[in-house]
Amino acid sequence: MAQIDDLPPLRDVIAAHGLDAKKSLGQNFLLDLNLTSRIARSAGSLDDCTVLEIGPGPGGLTRALLAAGAKKVVAIEKDSRCLPALADIAARYPGRLEVIEGDALQLDPVALTGGDKVRIAANLPYNVGTQLLINWITTPKWPPFWSSLTLMFQKEVGERIVARPASKAYGRLGVLAGWRCNGGILFDISPKAFTPPPKVTSVVVHLTPDPTPLPCDLHALEKITAAAFGQRRKMLRSSLKALSKDAEKLIVDSGLGPTARAEEIDIAGFVNLANVFRTAGAV
């Protein structure tokens, strides 16, 4: 295991502060500093930006981000037990770590990062990771406040984020992420790297915002994808009927066949659907 600073090993930090991982908080601590350093490097150049980290826990990734030269790290931690361990890191890197106790789902990331250039890097808690990602990629203002996302998910979720048509993992999340972002899965992380080991493999996903996504109303696209993938085995003329009695005509007007199914439609096709349904007042 790499030694990246003169702070104690993470296992000693966890033991000293009694930081047994809580399942209720979706915690699985990543202790391998080789891996946390690899994640930090994957986030790109950090010396000119603020890094937003969610769920730092005992601070393994936090330390790697700071050692990699992050100008500043803003870490949001819900578990108050972790605050003393994070305070030790803040003391080691004066003025470069700000720890905020709170729920990341309830906090405004733009206000917390002060309008700086922001990269988000995190071993996201499993129980809130998907919702946080959706929040970040569906922000009304685009391009968004962040310049990159380097995030760890369960492998199944990571595959859904980068999925493309005709794959089993393709769904609403893949459409929304693919519409506005570029990127993919960087590497897998074995369950053995965590304490406690989860039952699944994890992956690190890196996304950057597409500055010029296809023109589309976000609300309309969300409505269309929710309806289409909510009944993914049905033909579009059936799954979208709840949105409009003229669904079949609108599907044809968008350039698609009414007997197609959601998993067959690419991102441009969903954008066309959303635009036509919105123009018709159906969404």
Q: Is 98 annotated as a binding residue?
A: no
Q: Is 255 annotated as a binding residue?
A: no
Helix (H) or strand (E) holding 35: helix 33-42
Token pair for 153: 């998910």
Q: Is 248 annotated as a binding residue?
A: no
Angle at 208 between CA 118 and CA 150, to 5 degrees: 65
Are 282 and 254 within 8 A, CB to CB?
A: no
45 Ramachandran zone, left/alpha/beta (phi>0; psi -120 to 50): beta
Q: Is 26 annotated as a binding residue?
A: no
Q: Is 30 annotated as a binding residue?
A: yes
- Residue 140, judged by CB atoms within 10 A of its CB (0-12, 13-18, 19+), counts as exposed
Are 15 and 31 within 8 A, CB to CB?
A: no
Q: Is 55 annotated as a binding residue?
A: yes
Are 259 and 235 within 8 A, CB to CB?
A: yes
Query: At 138, phi and psi to the nearest 5?
Result: -115, 20
> Binding site: residue ranges?
28, 30, 55, 77, 103, 123
> Binding site for S-adenosyl-L-methionine: residue ranges?
28, 30, 55, 77, 103, 123
